Amino acid sequence: MSIWLFSFVSGLFLLHFSIALILINKEVPQSRGMLYPRESETREVRSLDGIWNFVRSDQANPTQGVREEWYSKDLSKSGPTIPMPVPASYNDITTDNLRDHVGTVWYDRKFFAPRSWAVDQRVWLRFGSVHYEAYVWVNGQKVVKHEIGHLPFEAEVTHLLKYGAENRVTVMCDNALIQTTVPQGRITELPNDEGMTIVQSYTFDFFNYAGIHRSVHLYTTPKTFIEEVVVTTNLSKDNVGGEVLYSVKFNGSAINEADNALYVRAQLYDREGKLVANGTSDAQLSGSLQVDNVNPWWPYLMHPEPGYLYQLEVKLHASNDELLDVYRLKVGLRTLSWSNATFQINGRPVYFRGFGRHEDADVRGKGLDNALMVRDFNLLKWIGANAYRTSHYPYSEESMQFADEHGIMIVDECPSVDAENYNQELLGKHKSSLEQLIHRDRNHPSVVMWSIANEPRTREMNADSYFQLVANLTRSLDKTRPITAAIATPWTDDKAGRFLDIISFNRYNAWYSNTGRLDMVTKKVVEEAVAWNKKYNKPVIMAEYGADTLEGLHLQPAYVWSEEFQTEVFARHFKAFDILRKKGWFIGEFVWNFADFKTAQSYTRVGGNKKGVFTRARQPKASAHLLRKRYFALARELDDSSFPEDLFTYIADMGKTENA
């Protein structure tokens, strides 16, 4: 059945004049389970990270491996393999043109399933993310397929494993982006020197890295186990009393059918490991814990002890009190509220000072890298930022946990970038990406906002009905956080802002418009922010501004691409932001970008996008030092935090100290 409904003009079967595409609201599949793999007295976790075997398919014959059933035996039996690290993007590992490969690639590896796992438990195979589409087999049997990168997926493999013996996992990964994938792209066949070749193109501005990007885990659960835990928190008005509301779902037989009286014991421990609250759930496995003298979760620099986390211990019991399963997770107690002018955390207004970022690095591409993650958080704290947007896709679960610990607020973005040509299939996947994202991230105190898209073409026909449906779904899944989208369509033409709670706009004054004109920044930024606020009467954030900057290029007076220019562009924006802050509804500034990153090849990109405040190797450009002064000055003014000792370099006595 066609999913497109056309209105025909004058009874003609013609589409030239007006194609009224009606988008239908269809249910999206609901995610299940996928709690982050954690060991406990009832669970074991094993990593399958390491060096896997890898084969690239013939681009002209992408389904060959499936037809020839490469998954039924070791990949090396079907042809030569090369070693490939997991997690990592495969693109920059070799010295040939694997970087630009389009279509399918294959991975496999062997692993042992211990004999002890054969008895009385389940085994799960979980991928943190494979980009863009993944097909997984275990010992030749298909176990799971997942589309949309950057999101976890898993399958039970209990019945497919050979216990006390070697097993094989095979993954086929497809990086092709088309008009119905999220994000969208195009595949075209073009003539080249050898005949014809397949070319992937896309409008978004980051390299389409692909492969097994995050960790692969095997983990065990008991037969009857905790499948879902949802946590929300409340604070009393004075932030002294706290409440943790939890709701648990189990999977498995309730021991016997007559026994549906499973229950949960929930215990909350503070940072020192002291038990501060405990209770027993109701029959629906929900309950609440009251905490006296609570330590609320505060953002970095808003409180001397930011990122305070408790540990929630969830124990699933049978009605005869037998302990079935134990799962522990970190919980931050905080409240969020917002109006048409403010955004508040624990009753205090928040002003966001942060970045748009990318998961991107030399060699490993978008592969999870703990060293890089920790370095990035050190830099975020060094520079005094309190927030970032996960532009333009969900970031690793490990980084979300790190943000919780360090009090960094996250605007959590789904993988929709530059959405256009709105169609039913795209809508379904876009909604599914948000469903999966919210399912994954709903318990993180660091997540304070959902971003439902970056730079969608919101003047296009159907942008309004499309975004209404996307926003409605998001709200139906989580009412505790506001919704935004980073919009670049001029405010005059935008049709999506009315469905958002907070307006975020991206604009590159003195870069893409009026290039080089530093004298044309401040007024334009103020005017545009005021216009967005007037149009929608909602809080406004500048979600992107910046200038490409080649590290080490110095030109005085400032000239595009130089470090002087980036610094000046920032300063002109700061002036605008300070004018806007006085208006009350302007609630944040996000520089584009935290660090330089790789893009597709283009004559506008010298080795990638260079708008980073840090280089790709995570070293500061001149602008980083200026931004640091601004972010700490804002933190002092708004949140009463103190300056780090090294914020201002000694220049001269200025007559302030007495003679020795």
Do the beta carbons of residue 20 and residue 6 sit within 8 Å?
yes
Within 8 A by CB and 6+ apart from 156, the residues are: 122, 123, 124
In the bound state with ligand GCB, the residue whose beta carbon lies nearer, of 466 and 597, is 597
In this structure, the number of other CB atoms found within 10 A of the CB of residue 288 comes to 17
- Give least dist CB 544 to ligand GCB, A: 5
Cα(605)–Cα(620) distance, integer angstroms: 20
Cα(202)–Cα(454) distance, integer angstroms: 14
- Give least dist CB 202 to ligand GCB, A: 11
In the bound state with ligand GCB, the residue whose beta carbon lies nearer, of 544 and 639, is 544
- Give least dist CB 145 to ligand GCB, A: 29
Within 8 A by CB and 6+ apart from 186, the residues are: 177, 178, 179, 200, 201, 202
Site residues (CB under 6 A) for ligand GCB, limited to 182-211? 205
- Give least dist CB 546 to ligand GCB, A: 7
Which residue from 194, 160, 145, 199 is spatially nearest to 177, judged by alpha carbons? 199
Residue 532, φ and ψ in degrees, nearest 5: -60, -45
Residue 378, φ and ψ in degrees, nearest 5: -60, -40
Distance (Å) of CA 76 to CA 53, 86, 107, 110, 447: 8, 18, 10, 12, 43
In this structure, the number of other CB atoms found within 10 A of the CB of residue 322 comes to 11
Count the site residues for ligand GCB by CB under 6 A: 10
Cα(104)–Cα(125) distance, integer angstroms: 21
In the bound state with ligand GCB, the residue whose beta carbon lies nearer, of 454 and 566, is 454
- Give least dist CB 605 to ligand GCB, A: 9
In the bound state with ligand GCB, the residue whose beta carbon lies nearer, of 360 and 478, is 360
Which residue from 128, 130, 122 is spatially nearest to 157, judged by alpha carbons? 122
- Report if residue 488 touches ligand GCB, rule: CB under 6 A: yes
Within 8 A by CB and 6+ apart from 604, the residues are: none
- Give least dist CB 506 to ligand GCB, A: 4
In the bound state with ligand GCB, the residue whose beta carbon lies nearer, of 107 and 590, is 590
Do the beta carbons of residue 526 and residue 505 sit within 8 Å?
no
In this structure, the number of other CB atoms found within 10 A of the CB of residue 464 comes to 17
Going by the DSSP 8-state scheme, the letter that residue 98 receives in this structure is: G
The sign of the CA dihedral 77, 83, 89, 95 is negative
Can you give the three-state secondary structure of 445-502, one letter per residue? CCEEEEEEEECCCCCCCCHHHHHHHHHHHHHHHCCCCCEEEEECCCCCCCCCHHHCCC
- Give least dist CB 41 to ligand GCB, A: 45
- Report if residue 454 touches ligand GCB, rule: CB under 6 A: yes
Cα(525)–Cα(99) distance, integer angstroms: 38
- Give least dist CB 384 to ligand GCB, A: 23
Site residues (CB under 6 A) for ligand GCB, limited to 573-632? 592, 609, 611
Strands 225-235 and 242-251: antiparallel
In the bound state with ligand GCB, the residue whose beta carbon lies nearer, of 172 and 487, is 487
- Give least dist CB 391 to ligand GCB, A: 6
* Residue the block writes with tokens 């919980």: 331
Binding mask 544-563 for ligand GCB (x = CB under 6 A): x-------------------
The active-site residue, picked from 413, 435, 455, 528, is 455
Within 8 A by CB and 6+ apart from 248, the residues are: 226, 228, 229, 230, 264, 281, 285, 286, 314, 316
In the bound state with ligand GCB, the residue whose beta carbon lies nearer, of 205 and 589, is 205
In the bound state with ligand GCB, the residue whose beta carbon lies nearer, of 609 and 623, is 609
Do the beta carbons of residue 391 and residue 413 sit within 8 Å?
yes
- Give least dist CB 421 to ligand GCB, A: 18
Residue 572, φ and ψ in degrees, nearest 5: -65, -35
Can you give the three-state secondary structure of 314-377, one letter per residue? EEEECCCCCEEEEEEEEECCCCEEECCCCEEECCEECCEEEEECCCCECCCECCCCHHHHHHHH
Site residues (CB under 6 A) for ligand GCB, limited to 362-401? 392
Which tokens in the block code for residue 270?
């503070």
- Report if residue 528 touches ligand GCB, rule: CB under 6 A: no
Candidate residues 455, 494, 564, 568; the one interacting with ligand GCB per rule CB under 6 A: 455
- Give least dist CB 597 to ligand GCB, A: 8
Strands 447-454 and 153-156: unpaired
Cα(27)–Cα(31) distance, integer angstroms: 12
Candidate residues 167, 390, 432, 506; the one interacting with ligand GCB per rule CB under 6 A: 506
Nearest residue by C-beta to ligand GCB?
A: 205
290: left (phi over 0), alpha (psi -120 to 50) or beta: beta
645 part of the active site: no
| Residue numbers at the binding site for ligand GCB (CB under 6 A) | 205, 392, 454-455, 488, 506, 544, 592, 609, 611
Instruction: Report the catalytic residues.
Output: 455
